[in-house]
């Protein structure tokens, strides 16, 4: 087979890139090692910056988020037993974020790709990248017991942290990493969100908490927990009791409980791989960077990578310009490091660290007090939360 761009990975970033390229007349084929059902079963991000929503519309798949997304105008910080709203909408000149589950977003992109008859090869095993340092890269893979070769002009590595794309250039990248000494226990439940138009971040002596949502009938809640904890140790009743104990009394009373439909513990890390271009191979999304979920930047950073990369390919094929390709890595990394800084700062501010004594907790509370009472600090938080401009 031949194509102009081979995309490795059929998650949101790979599918979105394929959609944008197709709209500009650029042929692409996506290879995915998992099944379509497995990809849809991933329970991940659900907060979209306006930049990401705009990009979905540019790709022609914005109807789902328009119909099913919930706009958030503010965030709320809980500390010292009280809740403090931050008017994100007012402090950023009208910008907002939108709650829309990654599962729904991925389904929208999958359905659009299928309706257009575009090729996605699921359950492609033993994927290997070849000759991307030259002018004729190719990808080999196994499917149904046979070896296939895909010839292309460029390879886009959108296959995540554990994918083959970054592994193929392991000796050529510089990796920066910070691993945090705790995890997030997350519960997905079909209950109305405790705060339908705001995300609630909690800081308490018991640890961090987060009240988020996927829709007006499905909520996503988290509590900080030790990395040594096992999901089996956390019954639904224990989780709900712990969540309420970390919120202010009025909000705790409003928590509607119900059986969990998904429960998992995720470790937190900050990670960046530099550079993001290797000849005709380009990394995007989690293949190049990971952020703690505290700032809701993971999916949004992947979308901005895709925006830069699709523009670079469009310039190359339609305008015969190499400018976008040559500057891709530098443009992405500038935005990535800003988001990494914000996610690290918010994680440090909101979590209880195992080695922190009472002094550390008091310093956190003092900074939070300054944050909610300083318009400048509240504005800086809001600007980063809704997403810095491309």
Q: If we measure between CA atoms, which residue out of 383, 375, 379 comes closest to residue 339?
A: 383
DSSP 364-386: HHHHHHHHHH-HHHHHHHHHHHH
CB contact at 8 A, 109 and 61? yes
Q: Characterize the bridge pairing of strands 120-121 and 97-99.
A: unpaired
CA 59 to chain centroid, in Å, comes to 18
Residue 77 tokens, joined: 């910080």
Choose, from 289, 297, 307, 351, the residue flagged as catalytic. 297
Does the annotation count 148 as an active-site position?
no
Residue 18 tokens, joined: 């394929």
CB contact at 8 A, 276 and 328? yes
Choose, from 100, 180, 201, 222, the residue flagged as catalytic. 201
CB contact at 8 A, 335 and 297? no
At 221 the three-state DSSP class reads: strand
Choose, from 12, 193, 292, 293, the residue flagged as catalytic. 293
Does the annotation count 122 as an active-site position?
no
Q: If we measure between CA atoms, which residue out of 31, 52, 201 comes closest to residue 119?
A: 31
Contacts of 18 (CB under 8 A, 6+ apart): 7, 28, 30, 113, 118, 120
Does the annotation count 293 as an active-site position?
yes
When computed from its CA atoms, the radius of gyration of the chain, rounded to whole angstroms, is: 21
Does the annotation count 141 as an active-site position?
no
Choose, from 72, 84, 263, 316, the residue flagged as catalytic. 72
Does the annotation count 297 as an active-site position?
yes
Q: At what angle do helices 12-23 and 102-115 cross, to 10 degrees?
A: 40
Catalytic residue positions, numbered: 72, 201, 293, 297, 385
């Amino acid at each position: 087979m031949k194509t102009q761009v081979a995309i490795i990975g059929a998650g949101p970033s790979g599918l979105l890139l394929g959609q944008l390229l197709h709209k500009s007349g650029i042929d692409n084929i996506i290879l995915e090692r998992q099944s379509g059902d497995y990809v849809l079963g991933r329970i991940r991000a659900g907060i979209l910056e306006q930049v990401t929503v705009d990009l979905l519309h540019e790709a022609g798949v914005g109807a789902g988020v328009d119909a099913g997304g919930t706009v958030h105008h503010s965030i709320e910080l809980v500390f010292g037993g009280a809740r403090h709203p931050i008017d994100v909408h007012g402090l950023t000149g009208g910008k907002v974020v939108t709650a829309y589950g990654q599962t729904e977003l991925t389904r929208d992109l999958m359905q659009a790709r299928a309706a257009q008859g575009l090729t996605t090869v699921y359950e492609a095993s033993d994927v290997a990248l070849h000759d991307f340092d030259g002018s004729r890269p190719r990808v080999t893979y196994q499917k149904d017991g046979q070896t296939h070769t895909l010839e292309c002009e460029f390879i886009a590595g959108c296959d995540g942290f554990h994918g083959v794309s970054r592994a193929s250039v392991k000796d050529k990248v510089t990796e920066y990493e910070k691993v945090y000494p705790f995890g997030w226990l997350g519960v997905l439940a079909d209950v109305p969100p405790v705060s339908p138009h705001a995300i609630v971040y909690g800081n308490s002596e018991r640890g961090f908490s987060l009240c988020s949502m996927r829709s007006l009938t499905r909520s996503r809640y988290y509590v900080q927990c030790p990395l040594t904890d096992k999901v089996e140790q956390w019954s639904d009743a224990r989780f709900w009791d712990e969540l309420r104990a970390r919120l202010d009394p009025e909000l705790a009373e409003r928590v509607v409980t119900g059986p969990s439909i998904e429960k998992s513990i995720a470790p937190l890390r900050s990670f960046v791989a530099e550079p993001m271009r290797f000849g005709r191979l380009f990394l995007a999304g989690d293949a190049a960077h990971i952020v703690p979920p505290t700032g809701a930047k993971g999916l949004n950073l992947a979308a901005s990578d895709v925006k830069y990369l699709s523009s670079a390919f469009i310039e190359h094929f339609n305008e015969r310009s190499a400018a976008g390709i040559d500057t891709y890595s530098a443009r992405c990394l500038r935005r990535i490091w800003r988001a990494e800084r914000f996610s690290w700062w918010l994680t440090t501010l909101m979590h209880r660290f195992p080695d922190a004594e009472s002094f550390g907790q008091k310093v956190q509370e003092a900074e939070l007090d300054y944050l909610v009472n300083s318009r400048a600090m509240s504005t800086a938080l809001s600007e980063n939360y809704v997403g810095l401009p491309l």
